[in-house]
Structure 1
Amino acid sequence: MTQEDIRDTKARETSRADTVLKLERQLCFALYSASSLFTRLYRPLLEPLGLTYPQYLVMLVLWERSPLTVSEIGAALGLDSATLTPLLKRLEAAGYVTRRRDTADERRVLVEPTERGTALKENARDVQKELLCSLPLPAAELTALHETLGRLNRGMRGAGETES
């Protein structure tokens, strides 16, 4: 093998290694970018409801089951109480949720939608319909993507728990 052949081989290896580091090839960036775009798409749809995207997620959890403790909401959304507390205070100030101490254990704060917060649920159905209509994939692909991301999230949560 000549010196030129060795240089060519090294150049090809470097080029392949550099390809792995391209931003467009990063799954994490594709997920991050899609998440940012989703949040942007939701903004004008949630604005008439007086909700931000994170507040909308909290309301979704509370519409499914309530009352919930702050830690239960955090577990469902993957958020810590330091992030949730100001968010919940804003929802309470808007009249969408109530927070109260659990009489059985005063360390726990229970959160539930108010009547006004429950009424938002009907309008939230329209938000979902409008958002789905604006997505560039057919329903079957969106369903498959949702299932794949669910498996990915569950697997990553499981991997994180075993490392602790």
Structure 2
Amino acid sequence: MAWSNEASVVSRGGVDYWRTWFLEECEEYNLFGLTARHLPLVLADGGGFHSYDEGRQLFLEDAPYFKKTKTHHRVCGPYEVVPSSLPPGGEITHQQNGKIIIYKEKWPERGPWLDRSYVRRNVDGVDLKYKQVSREFNFFPFRFSIRKTNKYKIHYFRHEADCWLCVR
């Protein structure tokens, strides 16, 4: 999930880097979630950066890691967009050649992104404790499926003045 109502994606070299507070859920459920305000960023017909179709690659930045360290960005990927199955009651938002790419979840409050008072994780010896609040973003109802590519790895980018990952 994107981390705010504003554009939480940086496009560099034709690849998008999304900052998310829900990295574990994205990886566990192979999903990424958006709000209606984020849709133009993934739909070419909506004036977005790129069309998110099957095979489109993207990276996910682990927002809590950067918030805690303030020295490095932890970026995972690439992930690729894969066709989705439509859940009961879901609505197709974008399809390609009859394959569902983006859909709207009828009951987004059921998860996988839930309001939690605090989440605790340990990443590379760094203890993370952060609040996850998805209610204010309607539980990110627009979703598309992702999977790790065979080139997947974790990258660390040093945070510097005029950091390219912080430009929003």
- Could you state the TM-score of these two structures normalised by the residue count of structure 2? 0.28
More strand by share: 2
> Of the two structures, which has the highest relative contact order with CA contacts closer than 8 Å and spacing of 6 or more?
2
Rg larger in structure: 1
More helix by share: 1
